[in-house]
Structure 1
Amino acid sequence: MKIELLKVEKNIAHLKWRYAVKKFDSKKILPKEKVNGLKHAFNLTATSYGLQPLKMVILHNKEVQKKLVDFSYGQGQVGNASHILIICIENKIDTDFITRYFDLVRKVRGTKDEILKPFQDSLVDSFSKKESEEVGIWATNQAYLALGNLLSYCALEEIDSCPMEGFIPEEYDRLLGLQEKGLTSVLVLPVGYRSKTDPFSKMEKVRKHVDESVIEIIE
């Protein structure tokens, strides 16, 4: 029991350590194993129906990063971070996309077709009736799940980060050639190591007391 409590306290301490970094140390670069961990954390994110209507672009190119600052409302984190994670949604969720997912389920789990086919047909029918805007909103919701997962993983691995909605997706898509890949950028996450001169690193985290933000319903 004591060991479990210590683990909980350690994990909470990591989450308290995390903050939205405003200035990264541009000379410190994430090692390859840290970047690989971020890849797997993204890929393991829970998504609705398990469809994973997302892709993540990992950018590690200072020249391109500096160009993206102009399309990020001047936020310098994009230019001085070690890497930029750009979470994108798939532009086309159609019958072929859904079928590929269920083919993967069959391959990995060996689930019989009589079990999977009704669910597969139901999803194909449901998505065929949705407007593209509705599907885009649904996919974007999944992107926020991925962002939350990445933020927690970063905290536990002591990777600094700064979640960003403040950017111009059309310009990111153009500069990075995302539309040609069937993708639209929706969220940006610069990652790396905080600068010692970032004043926000010394500030106390401002949160409500946990009793104000959590309601417990117990027997």
Structure 2
Amino acid sequence: VARTASRPLAAGDISTFQSFIFLGGQLSLALCVLLCLNYYSIVLGAASLSLVITYPLMKRITYWPQLVLGLTFNWGALLGWSAIKGSCEWSVCLPLYFAGVMWTLVYDTIYAHQDKRDDIIIGVKSTALQFKEDTKQWLSGFSLAMLLSLCVAGMNCNQTLPYYSAVAAIGTHLAHQIYTLDIDKPEDCWKKFASNRTVGVLLFTGIVLGNL
């Protein structure tokens, strides 16, 4: 893929062996952090390893690797809650987790459109190739599911007006993002992908202000 050809491993700046050493260091640090948590959270964290291991293989197997990424990447919604509370309150954690998965499907599908031409050549699959010209419709559906799930999570943990105001602002941002997206321009896909940091800031701010 042309866009990633200059990355250290792809460019040959580091060896595969060196990358494994670096990975081992990161995993060791992660294990140290995990072992500081309660037993419930340790088991929950260990349960995510199957997703972590299988995700890199998904682009060769399915057109939905972004879904597997979402399931993996948003595990922290469950782990963060259990680390503080001692266990998961599923009426809150599951809709929050689902909202995160839907959000990942939005931004990583946009991200995947940057590389779709190279992906076709090398045989890599993605939701960008699956949805094609229907991408905006799918992104709209994922966004709606995300917003509804955030509302359910908020209602189940007694969130207040600032939280729901943030959810409304997120909906406005996503609507503009999807409406103005040009899936055939890699630079615009990157711009829209990067703009999802605003979604994160809005949600974080809403949660904080909603709990003051």
TM-score normalized with structure 2 length: 0.29
Higher relative contact order (CA 8 A, sep 6+): 1
**Bigger fraction of residues in strand:** 1
TM-score normalized with structure 1 length: 0.29
Answer with 1 or 2: which has the greater Rg: 1
**Bigger fraction of residues in helix:** 2
